[in-house]
Structure 1
């Protein structure tokens, strides 16, 4: 059976490539590194959010991205107490420790931009507002071109 026999597979692959391309255009990363960056930032965000908001965010992600988002998910440990940008960046860097060197701030900004463009504006704002002030400041605008 080919992937084209199941439209949802084609759709999630196409959407995921769009997201990875946007990250790559902003950072210069190839698709593989963009994938790792997307996963690392999403997991750091997920682990900082209250469980209900983390689940709502997961529901708006493309199916393929949703899989990596929920990888090693431990709802009983949420939310993690992260109060500063440095602590948050450390979470991202820990996830990226086996990739080539990445500027964690650039990675964070690029994923925040993708989320702003592809989440509903209300969901993007809810996630952004749940983050510590220093991390929120990295998310320039909660929804510059988000969906209605």
Structure 2
């Protein structure tokens, strides 16, 4: 890993690369497909962010590595959330934002991506997020 010369940046870069690598390994994508793992992360983060209340979205963001937090907030308009989405709408949102063919299903893309993020989210916060989502969405989360 290249060093930025600033420990905080090096740490967030390493954590972000770890999440992307976990997504790639789960799908069997080579590192050369990093753009796919990034797109999966971005699509899932944005769907979650827009389904949560402003308060819950902010609480989740506080636990994300700094670089992932930037991806999470990219393009966010807190005056337009929460967007009421049940499972079909939630998965369609992920599918629409993922610019590649999904290898199997949006449910699996969601599950793999959330699983890669889980090591950065406390159990208490994860319970709060799950409590904020519709039951049909929670049913497909890891």
Q: TM-score, normalised by structure 1?
A: 0.86
Cross-structure match for 1:90? 92
Deviation for aligned residue 1:60 = 1.0
1:67-113 CA distance string (max 9 Å, x none) = 1110110101110011x2111001111111xx220131111001221
Deviation for aligned residue 1:16 = 0.5
Alignment length, in residue pairs?
136
The answer to which structure, 1 or 2, has the higher relative contact order (CA under 8 A, 6+ apart) is 2
Which of 95, 119, 126 aligns to 1:124? It is: 126
Task: List 4+ stretches of structure 1 deviating above 6 A.
Answer: none
Cross-structure match for 1:139? 141
Cross-structure match for 2:11? 11
DSSP-derived class of the 1:72 partner: coil
C-alpha distance in structure 1 between counterparts of 2:131 and 2:141, whole Å: 10
1:23-67 CA distance string (max 9 Å, x none) = 112122332211110110011000000100001111111111111
C-alpha distance in structure 1 between counterparts of 2:141 and 2:89, whole Å: 16
Deviation for aligned residue 1:116 = 2.5
**Unmatched runs of 5 consecutive residues or more in structure 1:** 141-148
C-alpha distance in structure 2 between counterparts of 1:38 and 1:120, whole Å: 18
Deviates more, 1:125-134 or 1:51-60: 125-134
Which of 77, 82, 86 aligns to 2:80? It is: 77
Assess if the C-alpha contact under 8 Å between 2:51 and 2:133 holds in 1. yes
Cross-structure match for 1:58? 61
**Unmatched runs of 5 consecutive residues or more in structure 2:** none
C-alpha distance in structure 1 between counterparts of 2:74 and 2:43, whole Å: 11
Cross-structure match for 1:146? none
